[in-house]
Amino acid sequence: MRTTWQGFMYRIDPNRTQQTALAVQFGHARYVYNWGLAERRAAYETTGKGLTYNQQAKRLTALKREQPWLREAHSQVLQQKLMDLNDAYQQFFDRVKKGTKPAGYPRFKRRKGDQKIRYPQGLEIVENRIKLPKVGWVKIRLHRPFEGEMKSCTVTKTKSGAYFVSILCEVEVPEVAITGPTVGIDLGLITLATFSNDEPPAPNHRFLRQSEHKLKQLQRKLARQKQNSRQWLRTKRRIAALQEHIANQRQDQQHRLSFYLTRHYGRLVFENLHIKGMLKNHRLAKSISDTAWSQFVEFCEYKGEWYGCAVERVDRFFPSTQKCHVCGVKNKDLDLSDRQWQCPNCKTVLDRDKNAAINMLLAGGG
């Protein structure tokens, strides 16, 4: 057995009094984050050195004496925000040291974005209610039981006004041996995934395209309304709700597919796509973004650790599409519109996506 971390997300339904209490927690936590970021920037400009978390935690105590209203928020919620700020800086500098493209430099939090706070302890769940410190017993939709020992929970308010709680648990899982067949997977736009074996291709439902007409209508309606009016705010929430619906549709399909693949195969071989470079093609950028290839591969990776399935990535410069899997000849004249092509050497008629999936299987040692 080994210990790992697993999160369980649930919808919560706070009443008006609890929503007001959560708004206080969100606002005070955002204030502390922005205060900490401003302090770090000022210290660097003055001394050429940054501040550590411990230094800022001591200053936070003095700040709460100067600003007594900060005591309305839970003390650990404010400390967790300083930890988040410290982690943001750490991720930025780690990537700079590695020479990879760094994560964005920490920015100030906005009131109009998603609001998040984290409680590291003091949590209880009884039947269909969860106890949040300084908020009270909030109704929770426990659509499935959580496992393991509850360590912390993150409360989120989305742009559409929905509230969620993500419970982080420490669970024990058995050591799983990697067994089962290997399959090469070609990610595409016509089909989300094409497999090297007889598995039928996974369809690309194009969820954004399905809702694009309604989304455009709402955005045009928003543009005609007076900014910050009651109807303008209502339309903006409807746009946010529709965008969340599209994202939920996409995640649902990819969760189901990644669960199936990691349970039935021992090794999945993907191509390491340069998606950011592909998005520079403005004719395909929207369609590429709608597929969320990176998200799908990440789902397969963490589920693979649970169920005993290894996920490998073939080098992005490997010519999986242009290379004939039968004789190995590379066809440099292949165009993006050529869905089927004939090998100039062995005369084999090849399906573009199927051939790429087979080549990735061969490149992965399958």
Model pLDDT for residues 264-277, shown as the tens digit of each residue: 999 999 999 888 88
Task: From the candidates 39, 84, 186, 290, give the one annotated as an active-site residue.
Answer: 186
pLDDT tens string 209-249: 999 999 999 999 999 999 999 999 999 999 999 999 999 99
**Low-confidence residues in the chain, pLDDT < 50:** none
Give the separation between CA 239 and CA 228, rounded to whole angstroms: 15
Task: Indicate if 170 belongs to the active site.
Answer: no
Asked if 230 and 296 sit in the same domain, the reply is yes
User: Phi and psi at residue 74, in whole multiples of 5°?
Assistant: -65, 135
Q: How far from 196 is each of 174, 219, 330, 336, 364, CA to CA, in Å?
A: 30, 42, 19, 20, 12
The structural domain count of the chain equals: 2
Asked if 108 and 201 sit in the same domain, the reply is no
Task: From the candidates 39, 84, 271, 290, give the one annotated as an active-site residue.
Answer: 271
Single out the residue in 173, 204, 222 at which a domain terminates.
Answer: 173
Which tokens hold the place of 353?
A: 């996506």
**Do residues 10 and 165 make contact, with C-beta atoms less than 8 angstroms apart?**
yes
Q: In this predicted structure, what is the pLDDT of residue 348?
A: 87
Q: In this predicted structure, what is the pLDDT of residue 161?
A: 92
**Do residues 75 and 58 make contact, with C-beta atoms less than 8 angstroms apart?**
no
Asked if 8 and 83 sit in the same domain, the reply is yes
Supply the range of the domain harboring residue 346: 182-363
- The contacts of residue 125 (CB under 8 Å, 6+ apart) are 131, 140, 142, 150
Asked if 169 and 193 sit in the same domain, the reply is no
Asked if 253 and 352 sit in the same domain, the reply is yes
Neighbours of 365 (CB within 10 A): 9
Asked if 220 and 357 sit in the same domain, the reply is yes
Single out the residue in 173, 196, 228 at which a domain terminates.
Answer: 173
Q: In this predicted structure, what is the pLDDT of residue 101?
A: 61
Task: Indicate if 198 belongs to the active site.
Answer: no
Asked if 341 and 203 sit in the same domain, the reply is yes
8: β partners:
167
Task: From the candidates 39, 84, 290, 353, give the one annotated as an active-site residue.
Answer: 353
Give the separation between CA 310 and CA 305, rounded to whole angstroms: 7
Q: In this predicted structure, what is the pLDDT of residue 71?
A: 93
Asked if 264 and 203 sit in the same domain, the reply is yes
Per-residue DSSP letters for 317-345? TS-TTTB-TTT--B-TT--TT-SEEE-TT
| DSSP type of residue 120 | -
Which tokens hold the place of 5?
A: 């971390």
Asked if 282 and 149 sit in the same domain, the reply is no
Q: In this predicted structure, what is the pLDDT of residue 102?
A: 56
